[in-house]
Amino acid sequence: MSAALLVRTLRDPASVAGLDASGWNGLIAAARAERLIGTLAFRLADVAVPPAVMPILSDARADAAREARQALWEADRAAQALGALGVRVVLLKGTAYAAAGLKAGQGRFIGDLDILVPVEAMAAVEQALIAAGWEWVKDDPYDDAYYRQWMHELPPMIHATRDRMIDVHHTILPLTARQTPDAAAMIADAVPLGDGLYVLSSEDRVVHAVAHMLADGDLQGGLRNLWDIHHLLADTDPDIVIARAARHGLLPHVQQARRLAAALYSPGARLTLWDRLIRARLLARDGWGRETRKALIFAFFLRSHWLRMPPLMLARHLWTKWRKGHRPS
Amino acid sequence: MRQSLTLRIGPATFRIGSAWPAPIAELARLYAAYPQPIDAIADFTVRLQPTSLVRRFIRPSIFITGDHGLADAAPMSLSHGLLAAEMGMNLQMALGWRRHLLLHASSVEKDGRVLVMTGESGSGKSTLAALLGERGWRFMGDEFALLDLDSGAILPFPRLVSLKNRAIDVVAGEVGEARMGPLLAATAKGDIRHMVPRRDAVARMGKGAMPALLLFPRFGHAADMRAVRQAEIFMRLTQASTNYVALGEPGFAALTRFVQHVPARAIDFPTGEEAIAMVERLWEERT
């Protein structure tokens, strides 16, 4: 299992000393598939590796540096577009880690720009972004209505000339989820970076990363999310994290993430049966970068919908998407 | 994966895995003169996998992917497996290569200097490079020319030459059947046959050289030639590069130097023979 090899290498970079060519091929393929190749490249920066591996890792570091630069530029453009509104614009996930210079951001893949703004400012933010050149990606009325009624974010937008996506959130979980985090408190406690941009407090960063990984979604990219959490936890006061997680209704999730991070990226932890299932899902990747354990992956895909929607709503949603020709990959 | 092969082309090493034996067997045969290390660390992994469990056995259908892939890549018939493998390798280069500026161009070398030819699919750049490679030039590549960021040299990437439709008979008649791959009929780009480059082109695939002439060929028009201004050359080459943006400032600097130092011409031609005569004349007159 190459995902397991990837995890071992991130935990203990010196362990690559014994790898043969096929081990390296599996490690690199798994790291690319999990979008952890940049992170791996930083972890191995001071470790002796075979000559053929060196350019692969230095390419990955250069790509990560470019992604961070582009992400910060997008954040700057969003700040510029939203500056006149006078609302707090809170950077989330990869862009936030890069902007705040966090260890979790080192080599991290950064996709879209994710921002959190107060729910009452959503309409104004949407108008300001459109005026500054962002436009809608989805032209399907059902998807658009679904986002606006049930999701925690606007439908995704893309900038017409820079071709970069922005996700505008007003809270950190879909409105249909069982938990209702206190987004207003998160925004109130956010830490200023200057230029009208903020990042979440170190404890809320953990809560958000955990909510994203364990209370939403199907654990695609879970190894990367857990790597973030592993480093974000190191910057926090454990008691404040517990209090914060409880306030947002996510204490069990945060405790579980702590156990998983300790089991995978630290010496170890006692895992429950449910933890072990998640670990099996996280490690479902072979030496060619392919997903394994298809049934388990599909079960987590189903669970992600179950988490987001009550049964009747789920049935109606799946029926609508099916008629539109959507099939799970 | 059940079947696999590791293959070195120019500076890049590919690990190609397939759910079926046929594409790997064809690759191994046509790339027989290339290094096929048993135990090497590859730059890229390519996977030819079934589009679904059923499609492994019944009307087999290939999904081309790997380290880098496109979610909406069109499935291909197993009878086009060789083409799928070639496309898989091209995909990795186009999306993942960072060590040189990648130009979608063919290239040939003579007297230690390189002629680079760039254009859309169908412009004739592959056919021209293949024909020149049989007539005293060293074939360096028909798909990607690699521009070195530091030295400004062009490095070879001499994979199999992909010949389409009418070009197939023209080139097959010149090089002989032994160096031709199977006919892949009715692909998305029409009929395709691959040609194996000459042995010396493969043997010297690690050796680059400085560029001396850039051509924008266009097949199927009355013979014509025009100068191209530097601004236009620059813009067309950024469009012909898949990693120009990803390379950032070093890519800009390398491309600027290339455009400022390499003379360029656009040439139209009705037949391959006329094109070769034009190329040879321009090569002699180059400044």
DSSP string, B254-287: HHHHHHHHS-EEEEEESSHHHHHHHHHHHHHH--
**pLDDT level of residue A328 (50, 70, 90 thresholds):** low
Q: How far is B98 from chain A (nearest CA, A)?
A: 6
What confidence category does residue A280 fall into, taking pLDDT thresholds of 50, 70 and 90?
very high
- Residue A136 pLDDT exceeds 70: yes
Cβ of A25 within 8 Å of Cβ of B45? The answer is yes
Residues of B in contact with A63 (CB under 8 A): 98, 246
With a cut of 80, say whether residue A312 has pLDDT above it.
Answer: no
What is the rounded average pLDDT of the residues A275-279? Answer: 96
Which letter does DSSP use for residue A153 in this model?
B
- Partners of B15 on chain A (C-beta within 8 Å) are 25
Our CA-based measurement puts residue B72 at a distance from the nearest CA of chain A, in whole angstroms, of: 11
Contact B42 A66 (CB under 8 A): no
Res. A1: pLDDT tops 80: no
Nearest CB to B99; choose among A53, A55, A66: A55
B67/A52 CB distance under 8 A:
no
pLDDT above 70 coverage of chain B, percent: 100
Chain B residue numbers with beta carbons less than 8 Å from the beta carbon of A29 are: 45, 67
Number of H-type helices and E-type strands within chain A:
15, 7
The residue of chain A with its CA nearest to that of B51 is: A329
pLDDT at A309: 76
Contact between chains at A21 and B41 (C-beta distance less than 8 A): yes
Best probe of the B interface among A16, A25, A298, by most B CBs < 10 A, is: A25
> B207-219 pLDDT, tens per residue?
999 999 999 999 9
B41 with A62: Cβ contact below 8 A: no
- Chain segment A108-122, per-residue pLDDT in tens: 999 899 999 999 999
Number of Cβ atoms within 10 Å of the Cβ of A255? 15
- Provide mean pLDDT across the span B245-267: 96
**Tens digits of residue pLDDT in A153-202:** 888 999 999 999 999 999 999 888 888 999 999 999 999 998 889 999 99
- In which residue are the tokens 């003169």 written? B33
How far does the CA of residue A176 sit from the closest CA of chain B (Å)? 29
Taking the CA of residue B67 and the nearest CA in chain A, the distance in Å comes to 6
- pLDDT score at A329: 54
Dihedral (C-alpha) B195, B196, B199, B204: value to the nearest 10 degrees? 100
pLDDT of the residue at A194: 85
Q: Is 70 exceeded by the pLDDT of residue B287?
A: no
Whether residue B117 contacts residue B125, with contact meaning beta carbons closer than 8 Å, is answered with yes
CA distance B15 to chain A (A): 8
Strands A165-169 and B144-147: unpaired
Give which of A34, A56, A66, A69 to mutate to test B binding, by max B Cβ within 10 Å: A56
pLDDT at A268 (0 to 100):
85
Here the ipTM equals: 0.93
**pLDDT band of A75, cuts 50, 70, 90:** very high
pLDDT at A46: 95
Average pLDDT over residues A19-26: 96
Any B CB within 8 A of A128 CB: no
User: Which chain B residues have a beta carbon less than 8 Å from that of A44?
Assistant: none
Q: What is the pLDDT of residues B112-154, one digit of tens each?
A: 999 999 998 888 899 999 999 999 999 999 999 999 999 999 9
Are A24 and B40 in contact (CB < 8 Å)?
no
- Percent of chain A surpassing pLDDT 90: 79
Per-residue pLDDT for A285 more than 70?
A: yes
**DSSP secondary-structure letter at A190?**
P
Q: Give the count of alpha carbons within 13 A of A39, CB side only.
A: 30
The pLDDT, as a whole number, for residue A277 is 96
Residue of B110, A256, B203, B226 lying closest to A264 (CA atoms) = A256
Model pLDDT for residues B274-283, shown as the tens digit of each residue:
999 999 999 9
For B12, name the nearest residue in chain A, comparing CA atoms only: A52
Please check whether residue B1 touches A, CB under 8 A: yes
- Chain mean pLDDT for chain A: 93
Q: Find the distance separating the first CA and the last CA of chain B, reported in whole Å.
A: 52
Look at residue A220 and tell me whether its pLDDT is greater than 90.
Answer: yes
**What are the residues whose beta carbons fall under 8 Å from the beta carbon of A70, sequence distance 6 or more?**
A110, A164
pLDDT at A178: 85
Comparing A242-246, A254-258, A308-312, B213-217, which segment has the lowest mean pLDDT? A308-312
CA angle A107, A113, A114 (to 5 degrees): 105
Chain A contact probe: residue of B45, B54, B68 with most A CBs at under 10 A: B45
pLDDT above 80 for A325: no
Give tens-digit pLDDT for B36-86.
999 899 999 999 999 988 888 888 999 999 999 998 888 999 999 999 999
The tens digit of pLDDT for each residue in B145-198 reads 999 999 999 999 999 999 998 889 989 998 999 999 999 999 988 999 999 999
